[in-house]
Amino acid sequence: MKSNEEKEQRKKRLNENKHIITVGVILGLLLGAMLGYFVWFMVSERQETMARTENNRYDSAGTRVIRGDIITSDRVAIAYTQPGSTADEDVRVYPFHELFAPISGYTAMGRTGLEGAYHRTMMTTSLNFMEVFRNDLLNQRSMGDRVVMTIDSDLQYYCYTLLGEYNGSITVVDAETGRILAMVSKPTFDPNLVKEQWSELVSEDNKSGNLLNRSTQGLYSPGSTFKIVTAIEYMRENPETYRDFSYTCNGSITIGDHTVHCEGAHGTVNMESAMAYSCNGAFVTMGMTLDRGKYGELIKELGFGSKLIDELPSSKSTSTINRGTDDFEMMQTVFGQGQTMESPLQNVMITAMIANKGVMMKPFIVDHLEDANGIVTERTEPRELKQILTAEQVDYLNQLLTATVNYGTSPQAQSPYCQVAGKSGTAQYSSSLERTHAWFTAYAPAEDTTIAITIMLEQGGHGSPNAAPLASAIVNYLYERD
Amino acid sequence: MNHIIAQVMKYLLVLTMVGYTAGSFQILTVENPHRMRYAFYRQVVLVLLFHAFGFSVIMLHEQTLEILGMYLAELLFMLLYVIIFRLAYRNCSRVILSHVLMFLAIGFIMLTRINTAQSLKQLMMVLVFALITLIVPQMFKKEKTAVVWSWILGIFGLLLLMVVLVFSSRTYGANLTLELGVFSFQPSEFAKISFVLLIAAMFRYKHNFGVVLLTGIVALFHILILVASTDLGGAMIYAFAYLFMVYVATGRVFYLLGGTVVGAGAAAAAYFLFAHVRTRVAVWLDPWPLMSGKGNQVCNSLLGMASGGFMGTGLYQGSPKLIPIVQKDFIFSAIVEEMGAIIGICIILICVSCMLKFLQVACRLKHPYYRLIGVGMAAVYGIQVFLSIGGNIKFIPATGVTLPFVSYGGSSIGSTFILFVVMQELFIRNNGEEARKERLELEIERREGAEEKAAQRK
């Protein structure tokens, strides 16, 4: 009886207040949704926000952490911090001056290279709690984490001296994993002096591009090294008959109004001798039979138009080939001229793919991150990008590229220690025939793996006489140093 | 060394805050007056502990007598405020009172860490307004005087708003401030209280279409002045509060839905009319490309909160000062960065519980005038919290609204004090002795009636 009455009263009150309750529900839902969003942000967006390049919150971390080192795979420090009494007095030292500058980057005027990409890593410490606690008690700063590269310091130094007076780049990768073993770019800068030389480095009169890592950011016409790509597409489109290809070269080939010249008349060639002698006429003949859409797709598949490497700033290689490409552009592209622009890293990835049984690997330059005591916190695992070639295609390409070195245009690349396979390139970069970039790309067995090399000499003349000997020297060095 | 203290204190801060928040919900279930008193003391002690933990880090870092003096002054103020308020208004809501202390304590800690000089100024403002607003409940005790005050304050508030439109100085893109010598004064902060009072007074007897039309004109007038001074955050607070008040006064969903449609249309119009609304929306959609310009506050706010995480960096270990005007509009991000998201969640929960408490007070009141004041105040408070924190965390575009009691700013502190004290008075109307007596009489009547019925049946 009583409870009934109470219930009734309650109902009445509820009825009186239903409007206020509705207001409460609306406002409660608004604030509840906001709370939900806040928790969601903290749980799932937090890491992403922290990892943003705009993140400036680690700039003040120096009060408690000494910036970590960057070291090579053979544990040579190429960038370390000489601590001052406060973080402002710290000095970042690059003991090898120009040698690793394109990779390490700098910290003086903004941050680039690995200094930029791994800023957060080096400004935080993964040392265990007790050690950090002890340092805090003693009012000492803890050591930040270390970045360990895949670069071999001796090989890097050898390649650097090998380049000598040339401007350009040398890129050496382990074909089976994608590890970058050496990456040289010239002309470059001394990261110790960036602040002092800044106005000079970024001056509009400075045309030498010191701050450019030519291996990843430089884009050049690929010259005859691009014949490898044309050969791959021809083999794909004519799987039964490519071995029977034949062409008689009389020194030039004319299609419509356009004529492409060869260096002399090569006579009758098949695919092997066409590659070995770098016969433009044969490749134009092969190229004009290709499906332009599929050719463009292969070029994309090989990495053109994509970002190739995560750790360093890089430029995307470009190609204009598609279904609608006209004859002239196609004719120029198939032997490496035309609108195609390629970075040396892109070039070496294609060579490494052939050396790695047709599987393209993701290139990487940071092997792992570790704390100051050497305990690994994160390791880069080799990653397969794509199987591009069949075993049969790999064998035949290997035959073409060894022929090039053994009896073709590039005997300069031969090594007494092993069979080198490779292709030269001489890329016109202006209408004058004299002004050319020299390319050579090669692979060879070394120790227990296969290495791939791309040499690119700006205004370096011809590929075979100038660039190919450097490839041979690098292979010999790897055999002789042990 | 300081770093370790900051780290230890950060856990203690989180612990006391979680304890306080849990306690503030637990207290709602307490009915026994002795237990209630005990629970209230526990809450106050937790606030004082929180304040002490925060200030111990600040004192170690700054090592000046000034900080020690400020700490002691704040401690003394908080104790005295509780004692005096309880002496003056024995039946006040202890939950609301302890929340006031908690918000002030968080604000004191964060402001002192960011800018000691401003924090001192804030303390002065708090002292002045805490004292002045002690008399507010007297004004609202008798309904007749309350209504008179509502009209006077309402018209005065509207006049102030007009004055500011004419003699304003520009701060951060919006015409908000009136400079009076060394003091700057934001009438829109006070006018939102007087606006609620005025609307409630207008709905006092009738809520027919005519009155709705009239209040609509008054509301529109307020809102247009704010829009003209480009204070769109303020305009939104007024608009929402008005909408909810009309809905409760008339009980017609039509006004709520119609008002929402009109509001959405107005928001769209504002987007096309005002460039600074467009930039704020652009920043909200993707702040990162605008980080070096208009998106600076929001980007730094997000980076700060992300680097703080759930436990925070510890006081002085983060960089909240990277956010421009952090002490006013972005105080929530500063707190989250250095004290942690757990404390941020607790703050939101306490704000929600405050707002719900206000609405509960409104529900229990009988007279529509007071009920409407309750609803209006709850809406003003809830929407302000929503706009402030929501803008900080990029849930909605930033509108430059302060977080009540926590943000720096005398006008904000003053108006929030008035709001909370008015709500205390409404609470006392329910729980005061007269109300209790009345309820007791009703109960006796009801029982007697029941007995009579029973006797008759016999």
Residue B178 in this model has a pLDDT that exceeds 80: no
Give the residue numbers in A contacting B (CB under 8 Å), as ranges.
2, 13, 17, 19-24, 26-28, 30-35, 37-39, 41-42, 45-47, 49-50, 52, 54-57, 59-60, 64, 133, 136-137, 139
A166 and A68 within one domain: no
What pLDDT does residue B172 have?
45
Same domain as A473, residue A358? yes
Q: In the predicted model, what is the mean pLDDT of residues A188-203?
A: 90
Residue A79: give its domain's CATH number.
3.90.1310.10
The reply to whether A120 falls in a domain is yes
Task: Kindly report, residue by residue over B224-273, the tens digit of the pLDDT.
Answer: 888 887 788 889 999 999 999 999 998 888 888 998 999 899 889 988 98
Burial label for A60, CB within 10 Å (0-12, 13-18, 19+), is middle
Q: Are residues A277 and A367 in the same domain?
A: yes
Residues of B in contact with A60 (CB under 8 A): 319
Chain B residues in contact with A31 by the CB 8 A cut-off are: 348, 351-352, 355, 382, 385-386
Specify whether A165 is located in the same domain as A232: yes
Same domain, A182 and A134: no
Q: What is the pLDDT of residue B173?
A: 46
What sign does the CA torsion over B137, B139, B145, B150 have? negative
Q: Whole-angstrom Cα distance, residue B80 to residue B99? A: 16
Query: Model confidence over B381-430: pLDDT tens digits?
Result: 999 999 999 999 999 998 889 999 999 988 899 999 999 999 999 998 87
Same domain, A126 and A197: no
Point out the domain boundary residue: A110, A125, A148.
A148
Residues from chain A contacting residue B344 (CB–CB below 8 Å): 38
**Is the Cβ pair A23, B251 closer than 8 Å?**
no
Within-domain flag for A374: yes
Q: Is residue A196 part of a domain?
A: yes
Q: Are residues A134 and A166 in the same domain?
A: no
Distance CA A353, CA B450 (A): 96
Closest CA of chain B from A482, distance in Å:
48
CB contact under 8 A, A34 and B393: yes
Q: What is the pLDDT of residue B228?
A: 80
Burial class (CB in 10 A: 0-12, 13-18, 19+), A5: exposed
Q: Does A1 score more than 70 pLDDT?
A: no
Q: Answer whether residue A11 is part of any domain.
A: no
What pLDDT is stored for residue B181 in this prediction?
53
Look up the domain containing A407 and give its range. 156-480
* A92 and A226, same domain (yes or no): no
At B182 the pLDDT is: 56
| C-alpha–C-alpha distance, residues A155 and A464, integer Å | 22
| ipTM confidence | 0.91
A38 domain residue, yes or no: no
Whether A27 sits inside 8 A of B303 (CB atoms) is no
- B304–A35 C-beta distance less than 8 A: no
Q: In what order do the strands lie in the sheet with A146-149?
A: A91-93, A77-82, A70-71, A146-149, A366-370, A376-379
CA distance B433 to B213: 38
d(CA B211, CA A279): 94
Instruction: Using pLDDT thresholds of 50, 70 and 90, give the confidence band for residue A62.
Output: low
Q: Taking 80 as the threshold, does the pLDDT of residue B184 lie above it?
A: no
**Count of CB atoms situated within 10 Å of the CB of A201:** 17
Report the number of distinct structural domains present in chain A.
2
Answer whether B17's CB lies under 8 Å from B311's CB.
no
Report the CATH number at residue A268.
3.40.710.10
Contacts of A142 in chain B (CB under 8 A): none
Give the residues across from A228 on adjacent strands.
none
Question: What is the tens place of the pLDDT at every residue in B25-64?
Answer: 888 787 777 888 899 999 999 999 999 999 999 999 888 9
Q: Is residue A299 domain-shared with residue A427, that is, in the same domain? A: yes
Residue recorded with tokens 């890329």: A427
Q: What is the DSSP letter of A311?
A: S
A interface test, pick of B348, B396, B423 with most A CB neighbours within 10 Å: B348
- Whether A14 is covered by a domain: the verdict is no
Contact between chains at A35 and B349 (C-beta distance less than 8 A): yes
- Asked if residue A193 and residue A95 are part of one domain, the reply reads no
Of A105, A123, A148, the position where a domain reaches its end is A148
Q: Provide the shortest C-alpha distance from residue A40 to chain B (in Å).
A: 11
pLDDT (mean) for A419-429:
92
CA distance B199 to chain A (A): 16
What mean pLDDT do residues B174-193 have? 70
Nearest to B45 by CA among B16, B84, B86: B16
Q: Which amino acid is at A371?
A: D
- Closest-CA distance, B145 to chain A, in angstroms, reads 25
Residue of B247, B309, B383 lying closest to A46 (CB–CB): B309
Quote the pLDDT of residue A51.
Answer: 73
CB B133 within 8 A of CB B417: yes
Asked if the Cβ–Cβ distance from B248 to A42 is below 8 Å, we say no
Nearest to A364 by CA among A208, A176, A234, A143: A176
Angle, vertex CA B392, rays to CA B130 and CA B94, nearest 5: 30
Residue A42 in tokens:
């903290």
Type of residue found at B140? F
CA distance A243 to A226: 20
- Please, which pLDDT band fits residue A26 given cuts at 50, 70 and 90? very high
Domain endpoint, select from A116, A148, A180: A148
Task: Report percent pLDDT > 90 for chain A.
Answer: 72
Would you place residue A2 in the very low, low, confident or very high pLDDT band (cuts 50, 70, 90)?
low
Beta carbons within 10 angstroms of residue A66's beta carbon: 22
Q: Over 80: is that where the pLDDT of A434 sits? A: no
Residue B381 with chain A: CB contacts under 8 Å: none
Point out the least confidently predicted range of A292-301, A364-373, B206-215.
Answer: B206-215
Averaged pLDDT, A89-108: 93
Q: Would A124 be classed as within a structural domain?
A: yes
Q: Are residues A174 and A288 in the same domain?
A: yes
**Does residue A427 share a domain with residue A327?**
yes
**pLDDT given at position B169:** 52
User: What's the CA gap between B227 and B270, in Å, rounded?
Assistant: 9
Burial B413-442 (b: 16+ CB within 10 A, else e): bbbbbbbbbbbbbbbbbbbbeebeeeeeee
Flag whether A106 is in a domain: yes
Q: Residue A299: pLDDT above 70?
A: yes
Other residues' Cβ atoms within 10 Å of the Cβ of residue A381: 8
% of chain A residues with pLDDT over 70: 97
Residue B114, pLDDT > 90, answer yes
